[in-house]
Every structure is written in C-alpha cells, then in structure tokens.
Amino acid sequence: MTAPTYPTVRLRPKAEARAIRHGFPWIYSDELVTDRRTQALDPGALAVLEDADRRPLGLVTVNLRSRIIARMLDRDPEAVLDERWFSERLIRALALRDTLYDAPFYRLVHAEADGLPGVVIDRFGDVAVVQPNAAWAEAHLEPLVAALVAVTGVTTVVKNGSGRARGLEGLAEETLVLRGAVSGPVPVPMNGATYMADLLGGQKTGLFFDQRPNHAFAARLGRGQSVLDVFSHVGGFGLAALAAGARTALAVDASAAALDLAVQGAGLMGASDRFSTRQGDAFAVLEALAEEEARFGLVVCDPPAFAPAKPALEAGLRAYERVARLAAPLVAPGGFLVLCSCSHAVDLSAFRNASARGIGRGGRRSQILHTGFAGPDHPVLPQLAEGGYLKTLAFRLDG
C-alpha cells in the first residue's frame, strides 16, 4: 500500500518537543505554529507533527477549535487509520481486560492510555457503548466500529455523543444505535450486586465502572451496617454494600429515573426489603436527615464533578467541603465516611484537605483508612496526570 501523504504541522521553537518524544500525547494551542495552511485544516484532520527543526515526531490529529490543538495518534508518521489500525489497539485493550475480569463488563478503551485519544468504550456483555469525544474519532467512527465488532464479537454498538468533551471539540450531541438493537436497560453484575444500566438515556455510558474497587472496599465497611449512598446514581455503593451484607441501604439522588433503576437492581438481587430511595437535591436531603437525627454506620458521597476545569476549582473545593460537613454528623460513632471526587481540576491533596476541613467543621474527628482510585480498566498514562481523575477517601469517624 502506498503511504498516505499528510500535511505537516510544526511545533514552535519554545515548545517542549522532548516531552512529546517521551510520551506526552497533547500539544496545546500556544505550542503549534498556526500558519495559513494549518488554519485551513478541518477539525480532526490528520497531519505529521514536526519539531522546530522539521524532524518528524509522529502522526497527530489537529483541531484548531480545541485548546488541545493536536493529539498524538501514532509514532509512525506514515500510519494509516484503517480498520486494521484500530483492530491492533483494540486487541491490546481487550487482552488487558480479559486478564483483569472474568465477565465482559468493563471499560474497554480509556482514551489516550489505550492509544485512542478522546475515545471511551464501555462494554456491557454483547453491547458496547462508544463515546467519540474528539473530532478525529467522529470522522473515523466507521472503521473504529467495524474493528470493535470484529475484535470483541459484540452484536450491538451504541454511539453516545454527549458530554462536555464533545462541546469543547465543536461536536454536536447525539445518541444512537449503530449496530444491533437495545430493548431496555441492561443488567450488569459487579461486586456481587446487579446494576441496571440505561445505555441510551442514562448518565455517560449508563454505568460508572471506574468505582468498582472503591465499591468493594466500602462494601466491606458496610457489612452489618445501615448505609447511606448519596449521589447514588443507579445504586453504586448502596447495592454493593447490600451484596456484602449491609443491613439496609438508603439511596439518594436527584434523578428519579436513576433511582428507579436502582430499585430494579435491588429487586434482581432479592434485596428489595432492605433497600429504599429518597429523590431530591443531595444537599437538601443531607440537611433534612440531620434534622431527623438519622445516623448510619456508613455514609458515602459520590457527587458529579464539581470542578471539571481549573476555572471552577475554588467553587468546587467549597462544594466538596460542604458535602463533608453535612455528611459527617450523619455517621454513627465509630462509623465510616467515604467521599469521592471525579473532578479533573482537583488533585488528591486539595480534595483530601477540603474533605478534612469539612469533617472538622461537621464536629467530627477522623482518620483516613484508605485512598482509592479508578479501577485497572481505567489505565493512566504516566505522562498524563489528568487521566487519574478519580479520588476516593475512606474515613473512620470518632466522637
């Protein structure tokens, strides 16, 4: 096959080419020469990246609408993004998940760490949900899906084209079934619990696989206890705790639809009599429970990203502190409080400090038992700290 002819883009003289050579996958808008030829490239176009001395660094995708103006796709500047190219990456990704898990329910592709920048693929048995969150992936969706079906054997593929990342890339929102059919929510076994995932209308891809190890750790703390699961979505922590032997679990979420799915999951587990829900604003429900003098052996708060980007950092930290302050008084003496953050802009130290301040302001003393992160089906590039977005802290509270 004749090698394709790609346009070239070039780093500015002060850009750190060494970081790119050592594996950093992003080029920011102030690092690239944006001459007339570069400005004429369509979002998602492929180009050969050169350093300031015109030495090739690899094949990148370019999007002038994004602050991440280029993403490294392949160190080979003559690579061809066809079905075979996608298959090679998917085979490698699948081999890792087959090593980690006995059942095909996991994140199959975690963007840059799996060699597909801006692409997320979650697998639910015979169904795969693809999030093409970058313009290049949208343009190459057909060979990606063909390779996905060939490599994994899934019979149904859903495109979930929603979320903040697509907006930053200038992409429209849409969710549709590309292959096969989806007749309703899909049952997902995890940590002994059963979750119902709405693949077409739920949050993200329908379920958060990243919390799997943290669900398991918290579930051990909740054995024989009453459990409060705040920002519960489809019952993530609460159902896992019931599966591990919790006495009762109360799930709190703003979404009635998510709570309905949690109830269905509890029913499939035979735990309906130990599971209850409360729909409403989480902060308001926490305050109401305090007025009711409710106490729980385990309280878990897993909110949405309060600080998805740096401009929201200070407000986000105040929100995390408020969550901890309101949750701490609801923990029975000697009980446990688990706090989570999925905010990219909040690092572990800042989240830990905000949580500790909130617990102190809630009138409690604490010790940290465990620090958790996303599961191994969410690998992180060592050069890209942003990939390690999830932080989970487990506290034991005295007094």
Low-confidence ranges of the chain (pLDDT < 70): 1-3, 399
pLDDT confidence of residue 2 = 64
Q: How many Å apart are CA 70 and CA 59, to the nearest integer?
A: 10
* Domain boundaries 83-179, CATH class: alpha beta
Which tokens is 110 given?
């975690």
* Tens digits of residue pLDDT in 335-362: 999 999 999 999 999 999 999 999 999 9
Cα–Cα distances in angstroms (integers) from residue 210 to residues 114, 204, 356, in the given order: 15, 12, 24
User: Does 83-179 match 8-74 at the fold level?
Assistant: no
> What are the backbone angles phi and psi of residue 126, rounded to the nearest 5°?
-85, 5
* Per-residue pLDDT, 220: 98
- CATH of region 200-398: 3.40.50.150
Task: Classify 316 in phi/psi space as left (phi over 0), alpha (psi -120 to 50) or beta.
Answer: alpha
**pLDDT value at position 386?**
76
Token pair for 339: 């706090």
The three-state secondary structure class of 60 is strand
301 annotated active-site: no
Q: Where are the domains of the chain?
A: 8-74, 83-179, 200-398
Given 286, 342, 354, 374, which residue is catalytic? 342
Closest CA to 132 of 191, 44, 68, 207: 44
Say if residues 182 and 200 touch (Cβ distance below 8 Å): yes
**CA pair distance 37, 17, nearest whole angstrom:** 21
Question: Residue ranges of the alpha helices (H) in the chain?
Answer: 17-21, 36-39, 83-100, 135-139, 141-152, 164-168, 212-221, 236-244, 256-268, 282-291, 313-327, 348-361
Task: Give residue 242's pLDDT.
Answer: 98
pLDDT of residue 122: 97
Domain 8-74 fold: 2.30.130
pTM score of the predicted model: 0.94
What is the structure's pLDDT at 1?
A: 54
